Amino acid sequence: MVAKQKKRAAKKSGKAKTPRLFRMIVPVSDIERAAQFYGELLGAPGMRVSPGRHYFDCGGVILACFNPRADGDNWDARPLPDHIYFATGELAAVFVRAQKLGALSAEEVHGAAAGAMVKRPWGERSFYAQDPFGTKLCFVDEKTLFTGRR
């Protein structure tokens, strides 16, 4: 009942509901390798949905590994230009999995080793990694998320 009242109030005030993100495409050149890597890193096997797509449910948003050639497209996958950020309540466990996969970043970010699990200047506890295809990843302790909201 309360949800319906809020919906009506939003319509009357002219405020539109912001669309929600439901899928993020991660280009990969080898769908089998991507399924194995992300399955181990995320701690869940995911699901193959086509010859070139393997989906992982990340808290209601689908991380979609996509190999265009395997799905019959005539173009090659290229890594995303910036990081994908994940929030987790199990930062230490994900860190160990990333370490075993050799995925920890060797770069330096904000004056600290990116692949180290540290508290960042804005208060987040995180580490940076990279998938085998060049897409950069960041895992953040969900208790320390900085969202920029007031």
Tell me, yes or no, if the two domains 20-77 and 79-150 fold the same way. Answer: yes
pLDDT of residue 1: 54
- Reported confidence tier of residue 108, pLDDT bands at 50, 70, 90: confident
Which is more confidently placed, 109 or 90? 90
**What pLDDT is stored for residue 14 in this prediction?**
66
pLDDT of residue 64: 98
- Distance separating alpha carbons of residues 149 and 86, to the nearest angstrom: 17
Percent of the chain with pLDDT over 70: 90
The pLDDT of residue 148: 82
Helices 31-42 and 91-100: angle between axes, nearest 10 degrees: 140
Tens-place pLDDT, residues 62-87 = 999 999 999 999 999 999 999 999 99
Model confidence at 109, pLDDT cuts 50, 70, 90, reads confident
Q: What is the DSSP string of 94-129?
A: HHHHHHHTT-B--SEETTEETTS-EE-TTS-EEEEE
In this prediction, residue 83 carries a pLDDT of: 94
Provide the CATH number for the domain formed by 79-150 in this structure.
Answer: 3.30.720.110
Instruction: Report the pLDDT value the prediction gives residue 107, as an integer from 0 to 100.
Output: 85
Query: Cβ atoms within 10 A of the Cβ of 33, count?
Result: 15
What are the sequence ranges of the domains in the chain?
Answer: 20-77, 79-150
pLDDT tens-digit map of 6-58: 555 555 556 789 999 999 999 999 999 999 999 999 999 999 999 999 999 99
Tokens of residue 145, six digits: 């998320």
Residue 111: pLDDT above 80?
A: no
pLDDT at 145 > cutoff 80: yes
> Given this structure, which CATH class describes domain 20-77?
alpha beta
